[in-house]
Structure 1
Amino acid sequence: DAVSSVEKIDTITSTSQEGLSTVTIQFTQDADIDVALQDVQRKVNGILSSLPDNIETPAVSKMSMEDMPVLLLGATSDMKDTGFYQLTNDLIKPQLSKEAGVGQITIFGGLPRQINVNLDAQKLRACALSALEILQTIQSANVEYPTGTVKDKDLQYTVRLAGKFATVDDIRNLVVSRAKDGGEIKLSDIAEIEDGQEDYNTIVRVNGRKTIGLMIQKQSDANAVEVCQGIEEELRVLEAKYRNIHLHFTEAFNTSTYTVDSANAVKEDLMLAVLLVAGVMLLFLHSLRNAVIVMIAIPTSLISSFIGMWAFDFSLNLITLLALSLVIGILVDDAIVVLENIYRHLERGKDKRQAALDGRNEIGFTALSITMVDIVVYLPLSIVSGLIGGILREFSIVIVISTLMSLFVSFTVTPLLASRFGKLEELSRHTWMGRFGLWFERQYQQFTTDYLKLLKMSLAHPGRVLLTAAILFVLALSLIPTGFIGAEFMAQTDQGQLQIELELPPGTKIEDTSRITQDVEKYLSHFPEVATIFSAAGVSGRNSVATNSATLYVSLVDREKRMRSTSQIAKMVQADLARIPGLRPHVSQSSNGSAPVQIAISGPTWHAVSQTADRVLQIVSRIPGTGDVRLSSEIGQPEMQVQMDRAKMPTLGLNVANVGQTLQVALAGDTTCQFRDSDGTDYNIQVRLDQFDRSNTDDLGNLTVKNDSGQLIPLNQFTIITSGLGPTQIERRDRMYAIVLSSQAYGRAGGDIGSDITKALAKETFPAGISFDPVGNLKNQAQSFASLGLALLAAIIFVYLIMAALYDSFIYPFSVLFSIPLAIIGALLALALTQNSLAVFSIMGIIMQIGLVSKNAILLVDFTNRARENGYGVKEALLEAGRQRLRPILMTTLTMILGMLPLALSSSASSEFKKGLGWALIGGLTCSMLMTLVVVPVVYTQVDRIREYFAAVGQKLLQKSKSPLMK
């Protein structure tokens, strides 16, 4: 409630469980997190006085996606548990923290040293003492603080009270009370004082051997790859330094490995794209000389693009490399158009210099226009907000820079090289290249003849052509609602990682959880694809710490070395583990364990939310494609409920606070006191009842509480103790009680499952005030799709405005824009045939092709307009435009298609999300190339008729306005 008034909050969620409550505040994208952190800290400080006295001061920290763990390590050695934990905490952790870019390092597992004061309940009663009284005595005897100063003639001295325990025997010999006969009652008389270790709350193993886990997070502005490389180098130094204890580190997961593999895969795609584009150039130009003139645009533009990337402070990461690999086919577009026009002038008999000048000048404005059309498409993408905003900004700006550089090269370098080295090639039958070139030209001429026949037929029957195009467009769009094309936020990538959460019945002891976890480890070790198994019994992916849960991180071998995908293995493991009685496994492919389908169920009361969640769980479990459906909080945690008789308590001299504190010390224990060893290290002093007195629920009523008069009152005199079941945790979202339902997606896109859930819930009736909201990937998908939809609309508007300026007409641009739905037909058909879903990157591909396919239409319309200015009729001009522009259209489109083919066919790391982008572009460009050559000329004739009609109407109105009657 206190922090809800902070500005620019998107969502507030809280999770409360025994001994811990976490409040997470998610801010809007435009919020200044540093300012927000200060505001939240002030709000928290303002309510500290109203919080219980015995809680720790709330810690406020900021986090982002950049702060996620990048490395999980397991450390093993031959040392004893407590000594190895101390070595890890005091020496290894600080050493690793010194590495550049390292943020927080969290240690879990291992056994820290602890001084255990195990109280004997019977002896406490015999001495008329309570657990709370013993704790207070220890606290008051273990203090150290300055008491003032004294001066002599020369110096001033600070007086410090050294009241801290110096040895464990000091604790044992502490006098806690006096017996009736006046004798001393020492702490050792009523308790066992043990220089031991903390209780097992997590048991961590790596490949079956007990270990200490280290979770390493990077700083927000640090590079994950560089941080992991620095840590790996330091690990080798530490292993060499402590080889006498056989110190060894095992990586459970390393996010940089996937990043590096993905980047290397994109580099390979880029090089393959260059080779394919070079092949197209050689095929159409029949000359290595001419192909080189065009291909020079690629390295020249790329090198120039690096300067622009440096200016924007971009690095060569996965996104920028992906943009550069996609732009390979685009970089030669302008050079092809310019060079092809230069050769047209060479064929007219002009010398190379004049042909280069005239060819560039003639086509220059058109080349500038098609480049501007390509660029404006990326402007909306570069300003998209939300989770994907940063990704799209880098991606878009890199493509814009590269495209501008290619235009500059085509206006300067390409004409220069053509004027020096360009010449008309005469194909000879005496060389293999000449024979192949002549054969290709015959095929091309035949293709041109057939195309012109088809174009004439289409111009004679425009209605049929437009109706066919409209039907195809409607059928393509219908692929989405009919389920042939799924929808999801991001395509699931195969990172070779599994996260398995094991959930046993609430209340299960940590020892039993560890035993089941070991059995699961043995089962997993039989998979040939498994490389490393890291397990943490007592750690839950949702609850942080829970004795009935365990989390396993499973690393698989490289995808080239395994026959099955991560998804297939995950599904198999989920099915096998689900057969174990009493075990609820949750297997996911992501290292953070998040499910692709998540729905938040919110309401005004916990009872209503809990009952509704149980109903929704049954509904969702019946929806096809769902699996491992679960709730974030469930009733089932065994608990002993102590109900106090408030009317009776004052007569007994008791109050709620005193009773609660006594029970907490006796059962949970208290570690607020610390023991300082001779080396200056502080260790917790744990005060509580011994294990025997905490092992029987029937003994709970015999616990005693000391009243105001010093009498011990048994708990059963003023309370009723019952056993029952409570929630595992209590959640709130935006100040409402909430439970999150999550599900894995098997065989279907997560977005489609989310849509089916929404439809199914709409048919049901729920209590008043209950609401359902998508969270996680479903929420990200909704926000991203909305942003990309606006970007798509803005891109079309920008293209139209440029066309209107180019043609000085508001009507002719529609003949160009008609190529966009033709491209969408191909994009959707390609996604359906290749079984790719409609995700962020595939939608990006659809937006990208708006500019790319408009280029071909511009080439046709621009040439048609110039032909008409030279006296051609409309149909004759369109036929001539088709004949003259067929070759550059085929060349530019094929270079783009083949340039993107490596991405679409890739099976390397990160190929899953690249495939959707690649196939959307390839399908759109292919369909647009084939249909634009026919449909755009037909649309042009209809647009021209509309223009003539309005011109005639306008002329009549003008004549009427000049008639004598009007005067």
Structure 2
Amino acid sequence: IVVVENVQRHMVEECCSSKEAAKRAMGEVTAPVIAIVLVLCAVFVPVGFLGGITGQLYKQFAITIAVAVTISGFVALTLSPALCALLLTPGQQEELRGGFWRLFNRVFEWTRLRYTDIVQSVIKRATLALAIVGVVVLVALWLLQSLPRSFLPEEDQGYFITMVQLPDGASKQRTTEVVSKLEQYYLSVPELHSTDVLVGQNFVFGTRGSNTATVFTPLHLWDQRKRPDQHVKALIGAAFKEFAKIPEALILAFNAPSIRGLGATGGFSVQIQDPSGGDFKKFAAVTQEFITKARQDPAIGAIGTPFRVSSPRLYANVNRDRAKALGVPISEVFDTLQAYWGNLYINDFVKFGRVYRVQTESEPQYRSAPGDIAKIYVRAQNGQGSSMIPLDTVVTTEYTSGPDPVTHFLGYNTALALGAAAPGASSGQAIEALDRAAREVLVPKGYALDWSGISYQERQVGNQSVVAFTFGLLMVFLVLAAQYESWTVPFAVILAVPFGVFGALSAVWFRGMTNDIYFQIGLVTLIGLSAKNAILLVDFSNHRYQAGMPAVEAAIEAAKLRFRPIIMTSMAFILGVMPMVLATGAGAASRRSIGTGVFGGMLAATFLAIFFVPLFFVLIRKFSHRITKRPTPTPPVEPAESEPKEEYQHV
């Protein structure tokens, strides 16, 4: 767009051939095109050094944008001028002077003149203009602090997961009855396609038992669920109201994770730790106190844990003194218990190209009651030889209760808790609420809180995006400093970036979205996109200034001649991201997040920053002149130059 527009301008204003116009145009726009390509590529260089899931997401965008921009720049410098020389002919614009196009050109020309008038006024009222810039920066900082933080937006993956947990020791029949009630409700919801039930397996918490079940609920296709109340988050919220009507069990519904592999569900996952390895009953009581405290926070929509100490179990007590007196090795006792009542690994063997594992376990009828332990024998060694004695000779059993399951995290006894943020709250707000609850309940009693799954990744992100944004700005500055061979001129370009950030934050705030990883990727992209418009203005102004034109007149001339390509390129990009802003269906949340930020940022960079970039150039040139004490460049003395000066002042 920049090349073609400049070629067409030379053909119209100078009445030259297309080939000559292409040569003159490339002499003017080669440097800014190269600068734009280098800036858009360099801004993503630092993100290549980020680790974790954040680095992986940044790298995907970095590679895509860098390759696309490089190819685009190569085409703009080679193929575009050649095509202009071949396809454009003088007088083509005369064919479009009637009807709509004449009205459009008149309106556009009027807009350009008003724009240059405003730029001239902004330069004259520099103090007021800088005050407005300060207000924009302060508002951007306020929006950055007030926007709720999150890691990944909640995606509608087309299904959600429900966990059912009955009291410890509940039979499979009771679990099936509860699941049947749940299925009846789900099948009455028109947005739900079907239900897939797994009784005896808790897919969410990774436990097994007759008192637990998992329900997978596929939804109808996205084009059949276009209303907000048909989104998966709305359906989960409605389901929780129905769960209250089934008091027999703890029922929790979770959205699927936004990225597969980051946990079993969406939402948050925390590990409540007992560093001291103390009593399980006390640990369970503190865990329930923490869960109760967390539920009282408005940022927490749902939270639950499978950790209980009331699970019935059979405790085997080995009489070690009697076993030693009878000559029964303790290892034989434990191996026998494992081989008959648990499972004992023997070996692996290969058959028909597949590996099979050999494990021993007693038949169900021989391990269905505690008294069956008397039917198993162990070998006793004594002075008179060896003999087989019943296992109940050295082992007694008793019914008791205890934790099920006993899980460990980083070597500590731990209780896993899963949940989701309340509607209207972000995952970052939920994590902050959990931290507050932990400081009030867990820390004073010697317990701790740690993170796993997607919550661990969110905590790891921390200030990585701030580092990426800062180093992105640094890379842009260094590239422009090398391009212009100046340490001051690049600041005229860099100062346009806050306007893009302001527009991005305003757009996200207006739509009620969160500051997530995709929005932050869009902010890094906006560094290059905001600099693109500023480069077109600053490069032309700098050339005119070095040729001897005063800084003010050079900036106004650049604003006048570069207004059309800036509007054309920016509007092409803004309209190009509109489908992302209005995205629906699978992956819509991530596309809306990055699209909304870039859309708002480009609007501000296009229709707000271009009024201030000429002012930045003038102020920086005056500042540089004062610091270096160099004389102001003067134009060559030619009589013909007097009339254009009057024209510049008039504009």
Tell me the TM-score normalised to structure 2 length. Answer: 0.84
Match status 1:687 vs 2:362: yes
In 2: Cα distance, 1:816 partner to 1:669 partner: 70
Give the corresponding residue for 1:743. 419
Per-residue Cα deviation, 1:115-147 (whole angstroms, up to 9, x for no partner): xxxxxxxxxxxxxxxxxxxxxxxxxxxxxxxxx
Select which of 194, 212, 216 maps to 1:549: 212
Select which of 794, 809, 821 maps to 2:471: 794
8 Å Cα contact 2:240/2:253 also seen in 1: yes
Select which of 615, 624, 629 maps to 2:298: 624
8 Å Cα contact 1:536/1:550 also seen in 2: yes
Matches within 5 A, 1:685-764: 687-688=362-363, 690=365, 694=368, 708=380, 715=392, 722-747=398-423, 748-762=425-439
Matches within 5 A, 1:551-950: 551-562=214-225, 563=227, 564-590=230-256, 593-607=264-278, 610-631=284-305, 633-651=307-325, 656-657=330-331, 659-660=333-334, 687-688=362-363, 690=365, 694=368, 708=380, 715=392, 722-747=398-423, 748-762=425-439, 766=443, 770-784=447-461, 786-950=463-627
In 2: Cα distance, 1:700 partner to 1:945 partner: 97
Q: Evaluate the alpha carbon distance shift between residue 864 and residue 744 of structure 1 in structure 2; reply closer, same or farther with a 3 A threshold.
A: same
Offset at residue 743 of structure 1 (A): 1.3
In 2: Cα distance, 1:427 partner to 1:660 partner: 94
Match status 1:437 vs 2:437: no
Matches within 5 A, 1:4-19: none
Give the corresponding residue for 2:198. 536
Select which of 331, 337, 340 maps to 2:5: 340
Matched residue type, 1:690: Q
Q: Evaluate the alpha carbon distance shift between residue 480 and residue 870 of structure 1 in structure 2; reply closer, same or farther with a 3 A threshold.
A: closer
Q: Evaluate the alpha carbon distance shift between residue 650 and residue 871 of structure 1 in structure 2; reply closer, same or farther with a 3 A threshold.
A: closer
In 2: Cα distance, 1:767 partner to 1:343 partner: 74
In 2: Cα distance, 1:341 partner to 1:953 partner: 33
Higher relative contact order (CA closer than 8 Å, sequence separation 6+): 2
Matched residue type, 2:291: L
In 2: Cα distance, 1:798 partner to 1:404 partner: 17
Offset at residue 820 of structure 1 (A): 0.9
8 Å Cα contact 1:864/1:877 also seen in 2: yes
In 1: Cα distance, 2:129 partner to 2:326 partner: 95
Aligned to 2:216, what secondary structure does the other structure show? strand
Match status 1:477 vs 2:141: yes
Matched residue type, 2:196: F
Aligned to 1:423, what secondary structure does the other structure show? coil
Aligned to 2:362, what secondary structure does the other structure show? strand
8 Å Cα contact 2:343/2:360 also seen in 1: no
Matches within 5 A, 1:120-139: none
Give the corresponding residue for 2:129. 465
Aligned to 1:586, what secondary structure does the other structure show? strand
Q: Evaluate the alpha carbon distance shift between residue 689 and residue 876 of structure 1 in structure 2; reply closer, same or farther with a 3 A threshold.
A: closer
Give the corresponding residue for 2:644. none
Q: Evaluate the alpha carbon distance shift between residue 527 and residue 466 of structure 1 in structure 2; reply closer, same or farther with a 3 A threshold.
A: same
Q: Evaluate the alpha carbon distance shift between residue 475 and residue 683 of structure 1 in structure 2; reply closer, same or farther with a 3 A threshold.
A: closer
Q: Evaluate the alpha carbon distance shift between residue 475 and residue 671 of structure 1 in structure 2; reply closer, same or farther with a 3 A threshold.
A: closer
Matches within 5 A, 1:155-234: none
Per-residue Cα deviation, 1:271-308 (whole angstroms, up to 9, x for no partner): xxxxxxxxxxxxxxxxxxxxxxxxxxxxxxxxxxxxxx
In 1: Cα distance, 2:480 partner to 2:492 partner: 10
Per-residue Cα deviation, 1:457-510 (whole angstroms, up to 9, x for no partner): 22122222222222222222222433xx22222111111111112111122233
Matched residue type, 1:495: Q
8 Å Cα contact 1:586/1:628 also seen in 2: yes
Matched residue type, 2:108: Y
Match status 1:350 vs 2:26: no
Give the corresponding residue for 1:359. 25
Q: Evaluate the alpha carbon distance shift between residue 689 and residue 787 of structure 1 in structure 2; reply closer, same or farther with a 3 A threshold.
A: closer
Tell me the TM-score normalised to structure 1 length. Answer: 0.58
Matches within 5 A, 1:307-322: none
8 Å Cα contact 2:347/2:357 also seen in 1: no
Report the structure number with the largest CA radius of gyration: 1
Q: Evaluate the alpha carbon distance shift between residue 669 and residue 492 of structure 1 in structure 2; reply closer, same or farther with a 3 A threshold.
A: closer
Q: Evaluate the alpha carbon distance shift between residue 852 and residue 706 of structure 1 in structure 2; reply closer, same or farther with a 3 A threshold.
A: closer
Offset at residue 742 of structure 1 (A): 2.0
Per-residue Cα deviation, 1:574-605 (whole angstroms, up to 9, x for no partner): 33124312311121121764242122233423
Aligned to 1:802, what secondary structure does the other structure show? helix
8 Å Cα contact 1:666/1:689 also seen in 2: no
Select which of 97, 117, 132 maps to 1:453: 117
Per-residue Cα deviation, 1:803-823 (whole angstroms, up to 9, x for no partner): 111221111111110011111
Offset at residue 849 of structure 1 (A): 1.2
Matched residue type, 1:547: S
In 2: Cα distance, 1:780 partner to 1:940 partner: 42
8 Å Cα contact 2:344/2:359 also seen in 1: no
Matched residue type, 2:72: S
Q: Evaluate the alpha carbon distance shift between residue 954 and residue 579 of structure 1 in structure 2; reply closer, same or farther with a 3 A threshold.
A: farther
Q: Evaluate the alpha carbon distance shift between residue 361 and residue 940 of structure 1 in structure 2; reply closer, same or farther with a 3 A threshold.
A: closer
8 Å Cα contact 1:671/1:686 also seen in 2: no
Aligned to 1:743, what secondary structure does the other structure show? strand
Unaligned runs of 5+ in 2: 258-262, 349-355, 381-385, 633-651
Offset at residue 763 of structure 1 (A): 5.0
Q: Which has the higher strand share?
A: 1
Q: Evaluate the alpha carbon distance shift between residue 919 and residue 685 of structure 1 in structure 2; reply closer, same or farther with a 3 A threshold.
A: closer
Offset at residue 768 of structure 1 (A): 7.4
Per-residue Cα deviation, 1:294-344 (whole angstroms, up to 9, x for no partner): xxxxxxxxxxxxxxxxxxxxxxxxxxxxxxxxxxxxxxxxxx111222123
Aligned to 1:728, what secondary structure does the other structure show? coil
In 2: Cα distance, 1:854 partner to 1:770 partner: 50
In 2: Cα distance, 1:407 partner to 1:481 partner: 37
Aligned to 2:576, what secondary structure does the other structure show? helix
Aligned to 1:547, what secondary structure does the other structure show? strand
Offset at residue 652 of structure 1 (A): 6.1
Give the corresponding residue for 1:306. none
Select which of 404, 416, 436 maps to 2:82: 416
Offset at residue 668 of structure 1 (A): 5.5
Q: Evaluate the alpha carbon distance shift between residue 687 and residue 730 of structure 1 in structure 2; reply closer, same or farther with a 3 A threshold.
A: closer
Per-residue Cα deviation, 1:74-111 (whole angstroms, up to 9, x for no partner): xxxxxxxxxxxxxxxxxxxxxxxxxxxxxxxxxxxxxx
Give the corresponding residue for 1:527. 189
In 2: Cα distance, 1:666 partner to 1:359 partner: 87
Q: Could you tell which deviates more after superposition, 726-735 or 754-763?
A: 754-763
Offset at residue 790 of structure 1 (A): 2.5
In 2: Cα distance, 1:438 partner to 1:840 partner: 45
In 2: Cα distance, 1:498 partner to 1:688 partner: 38
Match status 1:503 vs 2:165: yes
Aligned to 2:459, what secondary structure does the other structure show? helix
Per-residue Cα deviation, 1:348-388 (whole angstroms, up to 9, x for no partner): 12222111111112221121111111111122334433224
Of all paired residues, the percent bearing the same amino acid is 21
